[in-house]
């Protein structure tokens, strides 16, 4: 019995992927940008500055870190609020000590409720990127396109009203997107998103939107809360990653990017700050390190194309 030839017919069969969102490109086979002063590794710090409504929404899904016990869940609500009241300002102080310029992914409601925080971010020289409306503003396929378009617009508008600048970057809650998100972000005027984690350097979607990969495995949430590792172990893993990336650059040229995803109510606790400040100081002392904002990375990538 022979195989029916129609069995092998597949309308999207082609070299690479079975979609046309972006091309397949191996990291070691494409032209890579050069960071300022020939630095090998761009350390890109992204802080998620979030507001959790005390009543969670499960549509289309409940955000990680959201309320867990019966209403009113004061325990988790106030633990998250600790991030905006205390933890985030510890991070701003730590960044100032180490000379760090970071990207802060803020919910739009942060600008509405706490505009002074957003102004403090800009005054300290950091970038503000859009991070949905609040932590009920999750995105997944099935969300009507008009609702997603409005959510993206409300998030950007709220931040722009306080900063006077339209955010160039977008970070979805839990890095989740729908089939419509990439074209909607382009339509809304965003320059980049940081939800796709399939690389260690920026790359471009077919529609021109950039993606800056924000690695999940090196986030404070993953290492400190999910894996329950110590902050000393977290710091050592970051330094080990920096060592490895720098070694790749020395061996093969080009450049690399090391993303650190931070959560103020996790890393900003007092018993973790000493190790975190020591980590920033160690990175700042490395001659091959460059602390970069997302918009700075995007500009260099585009100028290299």
Rounded-to-integer distance, Cα 243 and Cα 238, Å: 9
What tens digit of pLDDT does each residue of 118-155 get? 999 999 999 999 999 999 999 999 999 999 999 999 99
User: What topology is assigned to 35-304 in CATH?
Assistant: TIM Barrel (3.20.20)
Q: Environment class of residue 250 by beta-carbon count within 10 Å: exposed (0-12), middle (13-18) or buried (19+)?
A: exposed
Judge whether 210 and 234 are in contact, CB under 8 Å: no
Whole-structure pTM value:
0.94
What residue segments make up the domains of the chain, in order of their start? 35-304
What tens digit of pLDDT does each residue of 218-250 get? 999 999 999 999 999 999 999 999 999 999 999
């Amino acid at each position: 019995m022979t195989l029916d030839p129609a069995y092998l017919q597949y309308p999207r069969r082609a070299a690479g992927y079975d979609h046309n969102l972006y091309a397949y490109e191996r990291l070691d086979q494409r032209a890579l940008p050069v960071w300022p002063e020939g630095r090998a590794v761009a350390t890109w710090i992204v802080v998620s500055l979030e507001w959790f409504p005390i009543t969670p929404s499960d549509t289309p899904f409940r955000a990680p870190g959201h309320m867990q016990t019966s209403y009113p869940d004061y325990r988790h609500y106030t633990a998250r609020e600790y991030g905006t009241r205390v933890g985030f300002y510890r991070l701003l102080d730590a960044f100032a000590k180490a000379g760090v310029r970071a990207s802060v992914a803020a919910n739009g409601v942060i600008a509405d409720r706490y505009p002074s925080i957003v102004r403090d971010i800009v005054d300290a020289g950091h970038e503000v990127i859009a991070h949905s409306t609040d932590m009920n503003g999750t995105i997944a396929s099935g969300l009507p396109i008009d609702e997603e378009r409005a959510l993206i617009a409300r998030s950007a508008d709220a931040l722009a009203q306080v900063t006077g600048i339209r955010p160039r970057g977008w970070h979805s809650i839990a890095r989740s997107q729908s089939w419509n998100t990439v074209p909607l972000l382009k339509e809304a005027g965003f320059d980049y998103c940081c939800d796709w984690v399939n690389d260690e350097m920026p790359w471009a979607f077919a529609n021109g939107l950039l993606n800056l990969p924000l690695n999940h495995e090196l986030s404070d949430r993953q290492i400190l809360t999910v894996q329950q590792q110590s902050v000393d172990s977290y710091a050592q893993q970051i330094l080990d990653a920096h060592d490895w990336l720098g070694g790749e650059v020395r061996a093969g040229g080009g450049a690399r990017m090391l993303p650190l995803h931070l959560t103020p109510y996790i890393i900003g606790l007092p018993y973790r700050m000493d190790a975190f400040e020591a980590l920033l100081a160690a990175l700042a002392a490395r001659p091959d390190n460059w602390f970069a904002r997302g918009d700075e990375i995007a500009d260099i990538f585009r100028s290299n194309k």
